[in-house]
Amino acid sequence: MAQQTQIGRVEERWPAFMAAFPTPAAMAAASPADVIRAWRGLGYNRRALSLHRAAVAIVRAGGTVPGDIEGLLALPGIGPYTARAVAAIAYGLPVGAVDVNVRRMLGRILGADPATLSRASLQAAADALVDPADPGTWAHAVMDIGATVCRPLRPSCASCPAQPWCRSARTLAAIPVPATVREPVSTSLAASPRPGTARFERTTRWLRGRLVDRLRDAPPGRAMAVDGPLGAHSAEAVTLALAALAREGIVELDAAGRARLAGSAELA
Instruction: Quote the CA–CA distance of 128 and 131 in Å, as a whole number.
Output: 9
The residue ranges of every structural domain in the chain are 7-64, 100-174, 198-267
CATH architecture of 7-64: Orthogonal Bundle (1.10)
Q: Select the more confidently predicted residue: 256 or 78.
A: 78
Q: Which of 169, 134, 138 is nearest to 155 (CA)?
A: 169
- pLDDT digit string, tens, across residues 170-191: 765 555 555 555 444 433 333 3
pLDDT at 221: 75
Q: What is the CATH number of domain 198-267?
A: 1.10.10
Looking from the CA of 253 toward its CB, the CA atoms found within 13 Å total: 15
Lowest mean pLDDT among 102-106, 165-169, 177-181: 177-181
pTM of the model: 0.76
pLDDT at 188: 33
Phi (first) and psi of residue 252, to 5 degrees: -120, 140
Phi (first) and psi of residue 233, to 5 degrees: -105, 135
- pLDDT digit string, tens, across residues 23-71: 999 999 999 999 999 999 898 899 999 999 999 999 999 999 999 999 9
Q: Could you tell me which residues come within 8 angstroms of residue 196 by beta carbon, excluding any fewer than 6 positions away?
A: none
Q: What residue ranges in the chain does DSSP mark as E strands?
A: 251-253, 259-261
pLDDT at 154: 87
Q: Which CATH class is domain 100-174?
A: mainly alpha
Instruction: Quote the CA–CA distance of 144 and 1 in Å, as a whole number.
Output: 16
Mean pLDDT within 103-111 = 91
Residues of the chain above pLDDT 70, percent: 88
Say how many C-beta atoms besides its own lie within 10 A of residue 96's C-beta: 24
Mean pLDDT within 187-216 = 69
